[in-house]
Chains A and B, each alone.
Chain A
Amino acid sequence: GENVEQHPSTLSVQEGDSAVIKCTYSDSASNYFPWYKQELGKRPQLIIDIRSNVGEKKDQRIAVTLNKTAKHFSLHITETQPEDSAVYFCAASYSGAGSYQLTFGKGTKLSVIP
């Protein structure tokens, strides 16, 4: 089955700095890579996702890059703000009818210091 490794497990940055979280996956058949943000006591919420036919995707201060050859993908947050403080989970799956199983990384606790 799929295995997703996520680093670092904790990350502290000053407000305004950038944050980068990295994930690697094992199954070359995986083709869908979402990132979820979970604030304390809240539900996980999708913040950005990327499919294997795309190398990079950007949404305002958030970007994700994917290197299929190396089987790794990264989340980049620029101009961090205190409200970015949360646990971030990367995930990988093979997205096809009847085969959807999302494998999560262990999570990164991001703290943005004002």
Chain B
Amino acid sequence: DTEVTQTPKHLVMGMTNKKSLKCEQHMGHRAMYWYKQKAKKPPELMFVYSYEKLSINESVPSRFSPECPNSSLLNLHLHALQPEDSALYLCASSLEDGTGELFFGEGSRLTVL
């Protein structure tokens, strides 16, 4: 299994809603990442988890809250988002933090109304 699986694929939410994005990998990777990608732009790093501990938080607003329940799962909890947060949210994993290829999921396309 060389896949990173993300759910849901599409999400529409209002500014007062609370929702979560989920990511799962079964490749034994110990580093997992959240990226945000706006149209026609490169992915922008949000968070890095290494061995289930948050190792990088790129000054992301607190309305985004990551969680790593175990080495295979990564969540991104969303609360009180703004319309400018609408984007493609990509989860990725790599063998370890600092080495080798990033495997990306297909992404969750978020629209905030």
Nearest A residue to B40, CB-CB: A107
How many Å lie between the Cα of A35 and that of B31 in the bound state? Answer: 20
Q: Is the CB of A106 within 8 A of B97?
A: no
Closest to B45 in A: A101
CA distance A107 to B44 in the complex (A): 13
Chain A contact residues, majority secondary structure: loop
A46–B107 Cα distance when bound, in Å, is 16
- Is there contact, CB below 8 Å, between A95 and B42? no
Question: How far is it, in angstroms, between the C-alpha of A54 and the C-alpha of B48 when the chains are bound?
Answer: 28
CA distance A43 to B45 in the complex (A): 15
Residues of chain B lying within 8 A (CB to CB) of residue A25 = none
B95 CB to nearest chain A CB (Å): 10
Residue numbers in A under 8 Å from B98 (CB-CB): 95-100
Q: Which residue of B lies closest to A46 (CB)?
A: B101
Any B CB within 8 A of the CB of A102 = yes
Residues of chain A contacted by B106 (CB below 8 angstroms):
42-43
Any A CB within 8 A of the CB of B43? yes
Q: Is the CB of B42 within 8 A of A43?
A: no
A33 in contact (CB, < 8 A)? no
B105 surroundings in chain A (CB, below 8 A): 43
Given contacts A46-B101, A95-B100, contact A100 B48 (CB under 8 A): yes
- CB pair A49–B41 under 8 Å, yes or no, is no
Per-residue 0/1 for A44-79: is the Cβ within 8 Å of any B Cβ (1 yes, 0 no)? Answer: 111001000000000000000000000000000000
Selected A-B contacts with CB under 8 Å, 15 pairs: A34-B101, A34-B102, A43-B107, A49-B101, A89-B43, A96-B98, A98-B97, A98-B98, A100-B31, A100-B48, A101-B45, A102-B45, A107-B40, A107-B41, A107-B42
Q: Which 10 A-B pairs have the closest CB atoms?
A: A104-B42, A100-B98, A43-B104, A97-B98, A46-B101, A96-B98, A100-B97, A43-B106, A44-B104, A89-B42
Given contacts A43-B106, A49-B101, A101-B45, 14 further A-B contacts (CB under 8 A): A43-B104, A43-B105, A43-B107, A44-B43, A44-B90, A45-B104, A46-B101, A95-B98, A95-B99, A100-B31, A100-B97, A100-B98, A100-B99, A106-B42
